[in-house]
């Protein structure tokens, strides 16, 4: 009994309790299951069993783990929702909840491990699309590209929505035909639910198709929303609009799409069926975009945001170099209704043009219970009106989180291309500059994460910051660290770095990085020099994050799972609203890592409440 009481005390001390500003009682959000996963360790002599701790669990909620009906833990598990066991081959594992010392009679979650399961990851076989030939006689094939997740069938488990990128996809600045963009939906057991073909009238490239996956109408099943056109074929094989239409240019700038119908479509996440299609707002031929060859007009962004503080809206965005537009839509299961539209071309808003990034971030930055959209050097309020504008122009990378452990405010670390403003840390609520590192270079890369336990708060760096800087803008290390992604992997409170095939950990003593996982043997990464995974997020298991990558042949997705132990029991990160929304927008243009709407790192003090979380 004494041991059990000590375990309860330990669990309370190592638990993060979600207390977000959002009204969770009335907030429409997905309902997750336990997310149980079992995977052989990289060494192969043991398996890890990992599952979710949810924000409707009690602090004293405990768990039992069973293998083929036999209890595997001597005492109820009150700490980390993670267990290492001997590898004994093929078996079914179950996780059961105990409340007030009593075990539930139902299975909370289960996972069947096959005897030949790979070490360190889950394998999802892919159905590679057949390639084709463009009108000018050039062959193309397909590779797996960006992915997103949503519970499309209401079983509490995420499915993967995967974009197939043709080998001739193009940046907007380049001419040329492209193959069709395709989307598949896969369950985690490898079952393919549907395929959508966007057709010849949607050009392929990182800036054209931003796809939002989220349960927008609250029916427990996620929808998929994206721009479509005549010739798009839904998951049921039905064509949207005119199947024979061809809007591509066949002379001069080949392959450009400078005319024709443009639509916004809500697809069923479960079947891929076209549920609703409306005209895309604004259309291509509605004003001046800054050029006449489909470069600036075809730069798209998208996000999901709780604009009324209760229901998720999808926001589709067009333009950011000059003209900037954002249009918010609400889906009630039957109709797609426009909530508001912002256009920098309108009277009184022209100074809001040209301030967008190749990505965006969403959170309640001003504490009113409703989300704002940080678009780059500007922030859009929940009502579709500008909240603040630094006038520092376009940038490629941006990070929104709590940088200061003793504050509940959010900040934005942003980099700029104007060969003047360099790198900036600003208050997310007001745009007030906290510090700035000017530069006469085009600052194309920037990163922020709490990687150093010896330094206060979140560290930042960019391609022109002169090294790793602290929250005062002072250089604290000249170490060479990647400016790509960050990931919680090893189990402590500092974040690791994900760059292409490697996860590395910063060592504050040597001021070097140590490799903790190398996925380079058979895997490839996306989007050229960006070297992104298909997706990085807390998808299954405990609070640590997983990495979805493709094999070189794109015949398989691999979900890499950490086998490091951890002393901490935290709610799944996907129940933090800004984090969940950043996962939804990770596929947008220049992919950025998932980030929480609060400070989360090695400087958290017990008993101190931060934005959205309390560390007990």
Beta strand pairing status for 569-570 and 15-19? parallel
| Residue stretches of the chain with pLDDT short of 50 | 1-19, 610-613
What pLDDT shows up at residue 44? 85
Q: How many CB atoms lie within 10 A of CB 575?
A: 23
Q: Token match 């999901």: residue?
A: 304
pLDDT at residue number 528:
87
Please choose, from the candidates 432, 481, 437, 473, the residue with its C-alpha nearest in 3D space to the C-alpha of residue 456: 473
Indicate the DSSP class of residue 248: B
Cα 137 to chain centroid, rounded: 37
Torsion of CA 569, 573, 574, 579, to 10 degrees: 170
User: Among residues 560, 532, 528, 558, which one has the least CA distance to residue 544?
Assistant: 560
CA atoms within 13 A on the CB side of 195: 13
Alpha carbon of 390 to those of 77, 137, 355, 356: distances in Å? 50, 48, 8, 11
Collapsing DSSP states into helix, strand and coil, what is residue 10?
helix
pLDDT of residue 1: 45
Integer Cα distance of 216 and 219 in angstroms = 8
How would you class 341 by CB atoms within 10 Å of its CB: exposed for 0-12, middle for 13-18, buried for 19 or more? middle
Question: Which residues lie closer than 8 Å to 61 by C-beta, 6 or more apart?
Answer: 53, 97, 98, 99
pLDDT in tens, 8-31: 434 443 444 334 567 888 899 999
CA distance 346 to 326: 12
**d(C-alpha 160, C-alpha 183), whole Å:** 10
């Amino acid at each position: 009994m004494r041991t059990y009481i000590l375990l309860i005390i330990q669990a309370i001390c190592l638990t993060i309790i979600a207390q977000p500003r959002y009204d969770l009682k009335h907030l429409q959000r997905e309902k997750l299951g336990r997310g149980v996963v079992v995977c052989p360790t990289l060494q192969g002599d043991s398996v890890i069993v990992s599952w979710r701790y949810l924000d409707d669990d009690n602090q004293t909620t405990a768990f039992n783990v069973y293998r083929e009906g036999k209890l595997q833990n001597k005492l109820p598990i009150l700490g980390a929702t993670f267990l290492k066991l001997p590898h004994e081959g093929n078996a079914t594992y179950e996780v059961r909840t105990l409340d007030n010392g009593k075990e539930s009679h139902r299975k909370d979650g289960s996972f069947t491990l096959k005897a030949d399961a790979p070490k360190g990851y889950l394998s999802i076989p892919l159905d590679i699309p057949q390639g084709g030939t463009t009108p000018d006689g050039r062959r193309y094939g397909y590779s797996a590209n960006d992915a997103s997740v949503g519970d499309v069938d209401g079983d509490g488990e995420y499915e993967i929505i995967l974009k197939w990128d043709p080998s001739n996809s193009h940046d907007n600045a380049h001419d040329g035909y492209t193959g069709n963009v395709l989307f598949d939906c896969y369950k985690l057991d490898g079952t393919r639910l549907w395929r959508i073909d966007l057709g010849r009238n949607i050009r392929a490239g990182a800036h054209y198709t931003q796809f939002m996956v989220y349960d927008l109408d609250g029916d427990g099943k996620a929808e998929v929303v994206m721009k479509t056109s005549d010739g798009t074929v839904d998951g049921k094989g039905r064509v949207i609009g005119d199947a024979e239409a061809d809007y591509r240019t066949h002379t001069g700038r080949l392959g450009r799409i400078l005319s024709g119908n443009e639509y916004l479509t809500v697809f069923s996440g479960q079947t891929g069926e076209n549920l609703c299609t409306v005209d895309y707002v604004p259309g291509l031929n509605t004003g001046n975009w800054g050029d006449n060859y489909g470069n600036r007009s075809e730069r798209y962004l998208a996000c999901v945001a709780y604009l009324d503080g209760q229901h998720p809206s999808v926001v589709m965005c067009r333009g950011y170099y000059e003209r900037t537009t954002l249009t918010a839509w609400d889906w009630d299961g039957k109709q797609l209704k426009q909530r508001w539209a912002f256009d920098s071309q309108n009277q009184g808003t022209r100074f809001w043009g040209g301030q967008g990034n190749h990505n965006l971030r969403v959170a309640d930055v001003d504490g009113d219970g409703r989300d704002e959209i940080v678009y780059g050097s500007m922030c859009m309020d929940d009502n579709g009106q500008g909240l603040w504008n630094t006038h520092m122009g376009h940038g490629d990378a941006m990070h929104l989180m709590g940088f200061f452990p003793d504050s509940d405010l959010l900040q934005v670390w942003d980099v700029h291309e104007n060969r003047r403003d360099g790198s900036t840390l600003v208050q997310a609520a007001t745009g007030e500059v906290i510090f700035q590192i000017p530069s006469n270079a085009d600052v194309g890369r920037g990163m922020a994460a709490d990687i150093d336990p010896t330094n206060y708060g979140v560290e930042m760096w960019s391609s022109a910051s002169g090294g790793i800087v602290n929250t005062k803008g002072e250089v604290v290390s000249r170490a060479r660290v990647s400016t790509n992604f960050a990931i919680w992997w090893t189990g402590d409170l500092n974040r690791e770095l994900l760059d292409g095939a490697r996860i590395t950990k910063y060592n504050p003593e040597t001021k070097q990085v140590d490799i903790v996982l190398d996925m380079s043997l058979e895997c490839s990464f996306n989007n050229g020099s960006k070297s992104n995974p298909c997706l990085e997020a807390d998808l299954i298991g405990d609070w640590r994050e997983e990495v979805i990558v493709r094999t070189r042949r794109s015949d398989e997705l691999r979900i890499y799972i950490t086998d490091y132990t951890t002393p901490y029991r935290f709610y799944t990160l996907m129940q933090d609203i800004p984090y969940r929304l950043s996962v939804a927008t990770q596929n947008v243009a220049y992919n950025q890592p998932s980030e929480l709407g609060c400070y989360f790192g090695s400087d958290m003090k017990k008993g101190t409440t931060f934005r959205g979380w309390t560390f007990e």
